[in-house]
Structure 1
Amino acid sequence: MSAGRIVVVTGTSTGVGKTVATAALAAQAAREPGSVVVVKPVQTGAADGDSDAREVQRLTGVDVQEWTVLDEPLAPDTAARRQGVEIPSVASYVSRIAALEHDTVIVEGAGGLLVRLDADGGTLLDLAALLNAVAEVEVVVVAAAGLGTLNHTELTVGALRARGLEPAGLIVGSWPAQPGLAEECNREDLPRLTRVRVIATIPEGSSALSQADFERAAPTWFA
């Protein structure tokens, strides 16, 4: 038996709300029949207590798996080199993901699409492309709301399309309580310029919600 629906979540950069967006996707998936698991192939910053997988579990209660854990909050290949440890190849992550016996598997990347996940230069883009060769993969791009997001999002979408991966949707990862002109314009321009629809807009501060409140609110964020 192998994984059913596979969703790969990437950010246009670090700090754009990718983990909360992953949790929102997991909460949405958990509303439907079937099992859900969120996988974090590589987690850095463990010495500071960082764990995106545990945060997703706290917000949603779904099953999570965290595979390679590194101490420093750096790109995975850099963190592993400084720590003096060997890390698995992207191809090995692909095999493990494809073998998971869940109806929905949501894979959260580390940082942006081209951050190196292994010592051989493998990236989340490589992981998604390899997975797509053996299963149908949905790639969701999490973007910031403010200035710079149009450029970052177009670059990310362009890199995906260059590898034959059409993004399934955009998520604005942290929408301010009082959006300014840039944020309002970006919300209109993101789908127009990328030709990818915005499937969810997540209010800033959503990570502070309890599990019950998060699960109630998450469906309202999706288009």
Structure 2
Amino acid sequence: MTLPALLLSLCMGMTAFTAHATLTAADINTYNQAAAGNEDKVDPAFDRFNQLIQQEGATPLTLVYLGSAETLKGRDAMMPWTAMKYVEQGLAKIGKGLNLLANENTPISEQDIISGIPKSYLTCALAAATYSQLPDMFNHFERGYDLYLGLLSESEFQQQPYQATAWIYGYAIQAALRADDLNQANQWLEVMLEKDKNHPETRKAQTLLAANK
């Protein structure tokens, strides 16, 4: 093989490797299916995020995705001690991701957009959703709810496309109800109604709050 041909081959290989090592919508969709209860998607999601970290290095978002996927392994484990191990390991990874995020200072306007919102917002929202849905025995609900309170109060977050943030408001309302914070839940519902009263997440939140009056 000639030198130019060899260089071209190497460049093409590096391009393919780089593309494969990038978080994609398909990766996020696999995780979302796992989180929604599809047990067959849990291991593929976990393995993919682990692969990304091995290839690219840890980022706040991939660490939180990896940790959240590991808590799903705990959700689906047959034995209680195995479930505890997976959840605790997952929480440790999420904690590392949030610590990394706290040390980043990239302005929101300069961040990559992932799933329609800046990646730091997605990182916080995913951590909040994971923390706030765990059983009380893991003692992370309050931290998850605090993440929602901080995130949804940011003016720049409130300006993000509602199509991309509706699910976050929906999960935040679930957390508010679990915290017996009906006033906050209603405030967030008002925001959802103002942004798009016909959005499926808005309607679901309305139904949820109506059932808790």
Q: Which has the larger share of helix? A: 2
In the superposition, the TM-score normalised over structure 1's length comes to: 0.35
Q: Which has the larger share of strand? A: 1
Larger Rg: 2
**Which one scores higher on RCO, CA 8 angstroms, separation ≥ 6?**
1
